[in-house]
Amino acid sequence: MIENLTLDQLRIFITVAETGSFSAAARKLSRVQSAVSQSMQGLEVILGTPVFDRSGKAPKLNEAGRAILADAQRLVDGARALKAHAAEMAAGVEPELALAVDAIFPNALLMESLKALRETFHGLPVSVYTEGLGGPEQRLRDGLVRLALSSFASRERAPDLESEFLTRIPMIPVVASSHPLAQIEGAVTREQIEYETQLVLTDRTPISHNSFGGILSRKIWRFADMGARLEFLLEGFGWCNMPTHMVEGALRDGRLKRLEIAGAAPVELTMHVVHERGRAPGRAGRWLIEDLRQRLVGCPSQFVVG
């Protein structure tokens, strides 16, 4: 008999609990009191237990009613979210926004955009995969995501993927303050740096096993994880090029020192928005890309936007 329970009965039940009486609920719902009373009697029959104490002048929630109220609210909220999600899909919003993001992309900026996305598309489920180098494209090919923010697309032109320029992220050479390179005054020469260990980010996907460029040292330690490389950098294992936004705090508090390398060209990573060819992002994906562009424009000293 529980199958006969309706959302309308639950909404009336919640309104009675909020207003404190059948008559007040009837006024709020623009219904006659007898209809509210009959609906609540039917609710009790379906549930198989009284939810109101009728011993006083006005019915009040009993212990069972108070316990059931939270379940009723969750069901009504769930139905509301379901309706909103269906309406969004009918308006061209993808059922789920799944994206893979290069670990080098500024996480704080991404979170700001995702917060705004949540406010705009209330019922949209979101999945975020943080990857390095070829990882975002691999997630596209695996079918796990529909959209990728990648630094790899500029170097690997794949016929099955489409990409568009998003921004360029400057990289700066840094080293722990305790490292011998940090003790050198002025510019570090190529001869001085080539015998020090360079911490290099390398690709762990089948797409390519190449390292990101800018290798100057003969001694190389390779890392597939950006976070692990940063930890080793801070502990003085070697030097490396890091995105400016990821090391600003450590530079300010003196844990890291920026190196000036004589004759070394500036290094930067080009970020692209990537998706499968012929499968463009849906409405929410397009909205997110545009929002990210606007936020990047607001940081002209850190990023170059196309």
Residue 280: inside a domain:
yes
Confidence of residue 210 (pLDDT cuts 50, 70, 90): very low
Of 46, 66, 90, the last residue of a domain is 90
pTM of the full structure: 0.62
The CATH number covering residue 118 comes to 3.40.190.10
Residue 279: inside a domain:
yes
Domain count, the chain: 3
Nearest to 241 by CA among 271, 208, 207, 217: 217
| Domain hosting residue 28, numbered range | 2-90
Model confidence pLDDT, tens digit, residues 35-55: 888 888 888 888 888 888 888
Model confidence pLDDT, tens digit, residues 172-181: 999 999 999 9
Same structural domain, 155 and 278: yes
DSSP secondary structure code for residue 211 in this structure = B
Model confidence pLDDT, tens digit, residues 258-284: 999 998 888 888 889 998 887 778 888
Confidence of residue 133 (pLDDT cuts 50, 70, 90): confident
- List of residues 6+ apart from 19 with CB closer than 8 A: 25, 27, 28
